Amino acid sequence: MSDSTGTLWRILSEDTPVAVVFYQSPSAREEILELATILAPAERQYRRTANVHDAFSEEDMILFLTPEDEQRAVLTLDGRREALRNRTAPVVLFLMSGGDGEKRLRNDAAGLESWLRGMEYDPERLAPIDVEAERARFAEKTGLLPEDWLIRWRGGSIADTTENNFLSHHAALLEQKV
């Protein structure tokens, strides 16, 4: 199990000055924002802003920064990043995945990017699983390949226990579809 949601929770709980969240679409951005407000520590205030300059003043509040111009926001934060050092709660910059803001971050904002190690949340980028190793582990545990196990499970010949329900989720994840 990777640390996806836990990463966002950690980002919001730490004292690091800046973090970035990647989203796929405007509606996905709103949904991640909703999740972030749930995960934000109760003792911390937060608010949403589109103004990148707020990052340099409201230092003890989590700022969810959703700028109209993501490229400009990246360049502003990168250019003035030393002024972010006093922040005690992160400014969380939302960037469209693969968009101009992310490209600017990767290509022209090496300083800011270096500050973001471990402070990036992208729900679409799961830690990769080693499918072959996991399949071998599954077969070792159950005596069957995931596809064969699922045939028996769906046929009702495997007991309907908590353990086997969880195994069925793993089998579905590892199943080779023809």
Partner 1 sequence: MSGKDEAATGEPDYWHKLHAHTVSERDGKNVSVEKMKSSLIARLKDLASKNHCSKQVIGWFGSEGRAGGCQIFGLKKGLPAKDKWDHPAIALTGLQHIDDGALLTLSVLLDPRAQRVLEYSIGIQGQSRKPERYWYARIDLTEKPEGMGLCGHPLLHCHVGETSDEAPPLLAAPSKPAGKAPVFTARVPLPWMMPADALDWLLATVHSPLDRTHTAPAP
Residues near partner 1, by CB under 8 A = 1-6, 9-10, 13, 27-28, 31-32, 34-35, 38-39, 42, 123-124, 126-129, 131, 142-144, 149, 153-170, 172-173
Q: What is the smallest separation between the CB atom of 149 and partner 1, expressed in angstroms?
A: 7
Distance of CA 76 to the CA centre of its chain: 23
Half-sphere exposure of 71 (CA within 13 A, CB side): 7
Residue number with CB closer to partner 1 (29 or 104): 29
CB of 97 to partner 1, least distance (A): 13
Rg (CA), the chain: 21
Closest to partner 1 by CB, 110 or 126: 126
Q: Residue 166 to residues 103, 163, 169: CA-CA distances in angstroms?
A: 39, 5, 5
**Could you tell me the smallest distance in angstroms from the CB atom of residue 80 to partner 1?**
31
> How many residues can be counted in the chain?
178
